Structure 1
Amino acid sequence: MAATTAPTRSVLPIVVPGQLTLRTIRGKNGPFTVGRLTTPIGEFAVKDAELEQYPEGKYDGDFVIRYIFAKSYPVAGGARFEIRANLDGMTLHGIDKLSRDEARSFAAQDVDPLDEEQGTQPAATPARPTKASKPAKPAPAQVSADPLIDTTPFGVGTEPPATTGPTVSVEEGDAALFGILWPLEASVKLDSTIGRRALRMQIARLGELGYALDFKTQEWTRQVDLQPA
């Protein structure tokens, strides 16, 4: 059975109530998020980039399904098939923690959506080892009796000049990372269409800068440290 290369569109989008279960899995690119959406019209896998922002858990809400399509991807010893839903928006009402059984219900071999989007790269063919040759012994330094004549071999006893490249400040790095969102305001709404890798970097940086996600407003808000009375 050939994998579906393009989503099959229908009369969607439609809005349905349901529960979105998110699981965080550790992969070679770091943690990534996969989801399962349970609705009255069926159960679907969800791997939208938007979900990278949300912590693991079960979210009740209303979901706008843009389209539904079949997808297959290789796993160890075969292939995995699933029906996916692509979301066009959602309104979340609450969150609950996953039970141990619910966490285990997700496939441990789930493919990182980042690898899926970029395509798997074949492993590089290792180069044939070559026999290492012995380094040549440096010629002994010749000492001249004449103090005006320097007979020291070139490079012996000298330090290479220090090379310094252009340095980028933290603020310049953040400006490049966040683009039009910089400088950051007290509340920030990320654009999931910028690419999954860049989105993950923005999410990690927001956490370092003291922001936290409000899943109901779907915005990152700067946390204010309370001063002791």
Structure 2
Amino acid sequence: MSLSISAIFHQTNLLLFTLFTLVLSGCSTIPKTDSQALIEQTPQQRVIKLQQLQQWKIKGKIAFIEKKSRNSATLSWQVDERQNSQLLNLTSYLGINVLQLDSTDNNHKIQVDGKTYHGSDLETLIYSITGLTLPTKALTFWLKGLPYQKDDKIDYQEKTQLPLNLSSYYANELWQVSYANYQQINGYNLATKFSIRKDNLLIKIVVNDWAIADK
């Protein structure tokens, strides 16, 4: 029997949402980072370093929170900026594949509930299939703490000089990104907790694993 997308990518019940909230509040496998382990860099030095990071993969949890709906899933996202390709998988807590994305250039293929969809505008395609707003293009920059547009505004932590908040008018809408729990990973200072806001939408991401290949 086939499940609908709304059934697979569940409207999270109170128990599952409470469990995910605990993960977001610190009950995850991510150790708290000692700031002494981070590399001391100016914001300019950090940007230059991170511009070299073009092949990476994250694994963790993602939640989409709105007034009338709360959806959550396990996240696996692999990006190769050199080849302009990516693989994105969202999986339910029951291990059911919610969404599987394979992109090369502007050719996007999404598999959901046994069906395959194609399109050239990824964010529109994701929304039309799932009803979810996911700014994938900008997120490939924001997750690294980099501005997507020249006029993006970044506030830095006074002590570490790492991004604390980012504001961006993306697709003519104001997005705000908050960063926490930085780790040093192969010479890069990367956040592992993100809160991404637009209007009444809050996207929370917890990264359990950053894997990078920048050579």
**Common fold by TM > 0.5:** no
Q: TM-score range by the shorter chain?
A: under 0.3
Higher gyration radius (CA):
1
User: Which structure exhibits the higher relative contact order, with contacts defined as CA atoms closer than 8 Å and separated by 6 or more residues?
Assistant: 2
Scaled by the length of structure 2, what TM-score is found?
Answer: 0.23
* Larger strand fraction of residues: 2
